């Protein structure tokens, strides 16, 4: 249900992995798109192909500081999303989620823009309910090493709904489950990119714990479609709404698929499971299906083929140099 009337759209985190695909899609739909990024984890190379488009511009800015622009819609995606990146500077991670939400909600309030928060499945923590529906409140350690991200996103959701109730701000909240695809940062520490980069580079594939913990992997094109559908849904649909692929795979299964697809003969190396690492992760997407008419269409096999092809090309100079 994409809205075809051209709008002025702000995408925070627009040079990031997901943000760049969202910007690309919005530009193709004819919207005037402003990508804002401080390049902490985003990369200019993700959006360089859009720079000559007349309806796209990019601004270097950190959303923990106020931003004054005129927009109709705001997609708030800015925040490091992989453990290695968000744990590197946990205080700044919390600030990005909390101060960033306050600043973007203030902008939405002033301009009367509709604003979508890119929340996360980490809201659910290490869940006691499986699969996870939106009315599950979660099982989160508020003082652990992952809390800067988990609790930062939980607080951002609180702010979104309080601004909606107190100030009438037009909000949408998406809870994003594991997403993968081209343009992932090769060193972001996420499991799909980790396995692919290790396999292609001839390094042992590292599994934490026994590999029985599960995840559900959504291809980036499907996720972007879900975000746009949610943004342009009727006013009374605020969310939160889970966006993810309900196919559930163990980490060991994923490693074996990557090794088979890359033809790599490297070994699997086991390491200690990090603290508070979720044992299970699978979205209940009934709400997205009924309210948005959205379901993912790209299976893990197909999505991995596309992602491996991207990394094969991206890593070729480094692999050749090492060889």
Which tens digits make up the pLDDT trace of 18-29?
A: 999 999 999 999
Q: Domains of the chain by range and CATH? A: 8-179+219-244+284-297 (3.40.50.720)
Q: From residue 308, how far is each of 59, 185, 263, 265, 304 by CA, in Å? A: 30, 13, 11, 16, 6
* Positions marked catalytic: 149
Which tens digits make up the pLDDT trace of 177-189?
A: 999 999 998 888 7
Proportion of the chain above pLDDT 90, given as a percent: 84
Instruction: Check: CB of residue 44 under 8 Å from CB of residue 19.
Output: no
Cβ neighbors of 260 (< 8 A, separation 6 or more) are none
Which tens digits make up the pLDDT trace of 122-172?
A: 999 999 999 999 999 999 999 999 899 999 999 999 999 999 999 999 999
Token match 């760049």: residue?
20
Q: Is the dihedral of CA 77, 82, 88, 93 positive or negative?
A: positive
Q: How confident is the model at residue 4 (pLDDT cuts 50, 70, 90)?
A: low
pTM: 0.93
CA proximity to 68, closest of 10, 2, 152, 137:
10
Instruction: Please report the pLDDT score of residue 82 as a whole number.
Output: 62
């Amino acid at each position: 249900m994409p809205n075809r009337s051209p709008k002025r759209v702000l995408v925070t985190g627009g040079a990031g992995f997901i943000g760049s695909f969202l910007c690309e899609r919005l530009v193709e739909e004819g919207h005037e798109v402003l990508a804002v990024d401080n390049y902490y984890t985003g990369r200019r190379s993700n959006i360089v192909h859009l720079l000559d488009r007349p309806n796209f511009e990019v601004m270097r800015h950190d959303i923990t500081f106020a931003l004054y622009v005129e927009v109709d819609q705001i997609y708030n995606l800015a925040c490091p999303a992989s453990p290695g990146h968000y744990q590197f500077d946990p205080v700044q991670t919390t600030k990005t989620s909390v101060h960033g939400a306050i600043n973007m909600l203030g902008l939405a309030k002033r301009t009367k823009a509709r604003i979508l928060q890119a929340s996360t499945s980490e809201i659910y923590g290490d869940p006691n309910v499986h699969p996870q529906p939106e009315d599950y409140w979660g099982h989160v350690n508020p003082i652990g090493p992952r809390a800067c991200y988990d609790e930062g996103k939980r607080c951002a959701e609180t702010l979104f709904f309080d601004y909606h109730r107190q100030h009438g701000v037009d909000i949408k909240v998406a809870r994003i489950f594991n997403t993968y695809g081209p343009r992932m940062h090769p060193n972001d520490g996420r499991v799909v990119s980790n396995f692919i980069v290790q396999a292609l580079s001839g390094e042992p594939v590292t599994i934490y714990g026994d590999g029985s913990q599960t995840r559900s992997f959504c291809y980036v094109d499907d996720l972007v479609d879900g975000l746009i559908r949610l943004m342009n849904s009727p006013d009374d649909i605020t969310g939160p709404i889970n966006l993810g692929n309900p196919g559930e795979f163990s980490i060991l299964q994923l490693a074996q698929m990557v090794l088979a697809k890359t033809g790599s003969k490297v070994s699997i190396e086991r390491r200690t499971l990090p603290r508070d690492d979720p044992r299970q992760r699978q979205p209940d997407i009934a709400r997205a299906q009924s309210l948005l008419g959205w379901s993912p269409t790209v299976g893990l096999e197909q999505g991995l083929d596309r992602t491996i092809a991207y990394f094969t090309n991206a890593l070729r100079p480094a692999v050749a140099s090492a060889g």
